[in-house]
Chain A
Amino acid sequence: MPRIQIELPAALRALADGRARLELEADRVGTALARLGDLHPHVLSRILTRGGELRPHVNLFVNEADVRHEQGLETPLSDGDSLLVVPSVAGG
């Protein structure tokens, strides 16, 4: 199983025991999020809707690529990939 890293924005770190990065094993984006949810369920609820869809104000990038333009939650992961969570922010 590929070992990947999830990177969380500051806004979600408080819900993940203050961690900015988590390493875990997953072969698809969906399974990586499921593992994240096992560890930190409150973080997952900020990323996915109750129906398991990606929230429209959140983007996930595997390395530099937006998963919405890849295979969504089915996007495959490889060893060493970085899964970046980017929610919209409005501050100015």
Chain B
Amino acid sequence: MSLETRLQQLREDFPLVSPADVSARLGSGALLLDVREADEIAQGTPEGAQAIGRGYLEMRIENLAPERDRPIILMCAVTTRSLLAADDLRRMGYSNLAVVAGGFNRWKDEGLPYVLPETPDADALQRYARQIVLPELGQAGQQRLGQARVLLIGAGGLGSPSALYLAAAGIGTLGLVDHDKVDRSNLHRQVLHRDDRIGMAKTESARRTLEALNPAIRIRTHELRLDSGNVESIFEGYDLVVDGSDNFPTRYLVNDACVKLGLPLVYGAVQGFEGQVSVFAGAGQPCYRCLFPEPPAAEFAPNCNEAGVLGVIPGIIGLLQALEVIKLVTGIGEPLVGRLLLFDGLSTRLREVRLKADPNCRYCAEGREFPGFVDYVRFCAGAPDPEQDPVSPQHA
């Protein structure tokens, strides 16, 4: 059968909808699919349309429209490709199909509303091709990653894997806070750094590694100790914070700043062969203080230098943090909000427990005024009541 004969048949099979009638159908639950190529979509796509390349139509349609009887309207530049696409969908069992008469050309001619989507450049299309193809992510998800500004606290054991994978995934702005310098004893787990960078600032070492991996993103470095005096001005430039710090004063400071500024916090911590991950998302969800109202006494709180850690443990936990960041930024999946994941590397067991917001939490309880930053070093050294402490900048 020639193409023209087949199209003639398809024109009889599928109803044509005029562009002006589409929005009313969208309002009553129809799905508008723009099946043109990416370079055409870059010139504009109707408001409310799902841009779905014809090449991936069969693979993606079930995610967009699991119900086979949902009304679907297909659109291309004129009508040819949308008729062929409708034929494909009919073979998959879709029963309520229509085609936009005159396609996007007529849509524009009639002055109907359209948007100019931000489309990735050729480098980005290649670089992120294997994740853009995921229906859950797609170009819209990739765009959200590119717009995200994520701050990593610590370029160490947790920050290294997080930063590497977040940079690779295309997080548009990646900030790193660390005051430390690369030491040989870091290298078994802090895989951002290299032996020939011993003595270099970790932020600078991290920048070099990440820019070599993905020159398309922006790396911002903050070579300083986070403290009560600088935390707000740094955090204000970001949408989301990832805690990979290695001490309790910084962890409480980071939590309190995130509560105050309303920033989601992706928490991770490790010791020995074990690790913990959670997401403290604000807005009535538990915060770090709801889970651990106070730090342990110093003798019960060894850090990695004192207690030791197997390098792969922060690798695993840091990557789980990166996964949560990607989910939060793109809105896909089910983030670890209100749940604490516990990993035991010795038995290779993953446990999950439920977390609830503490209605009496000094920092995040509903209706509470933010009590102010405290002297976190004193607080973690066992100061009796942080609310009584003066607010003063203090190195964390």
Q: Which residues of chain A have a CB within 8 Å of any CB of chain B?
A: 9-11, 20, 46, 55-59, 61, 64-66, 68-69, 84, 86-92
Contact = CB atoms under 8 A, between A and B. Distances in A.
Contacts of B340: 86
Given A11-B307, A20-B347, A56-B294, A89 B352 contact: no
Contacts, number: 96
A91 B353 CA distance: 20
Contacts of A57: 292, 294-296, 300-301
Interface stretch (B66-74, B136-144, B270-278): B270-278
A40 B159 CA distance: 37
Given A55-B296, A69-B356, A91 B351 contact: no
A57 B276 CA distance: 14
Interface in B245-267: 245-248, 251
B346 interface: yes
Interface string B305-319: 001010000100000
Contacts of A66: 353-356
B344 interface: yes
- Give the residue among A58, A64, A65 with the most B Cβ atoms within 10 A: A64
A87 B251 CA distance: 15
B170 interface: no
Q: Is the interface of A mostly helix, strand, loop or mixed?
A: mixed
B282 interface: no
The 4 closest A-B pairs by CB, nearest first: A56-B294, A57-B296, A89-B271, A91-B304
A91 B307 CA distance: 9
B103 interface: no
Nearest to B251: A90
Contacts of B331: none
B353 A86 contact: yes
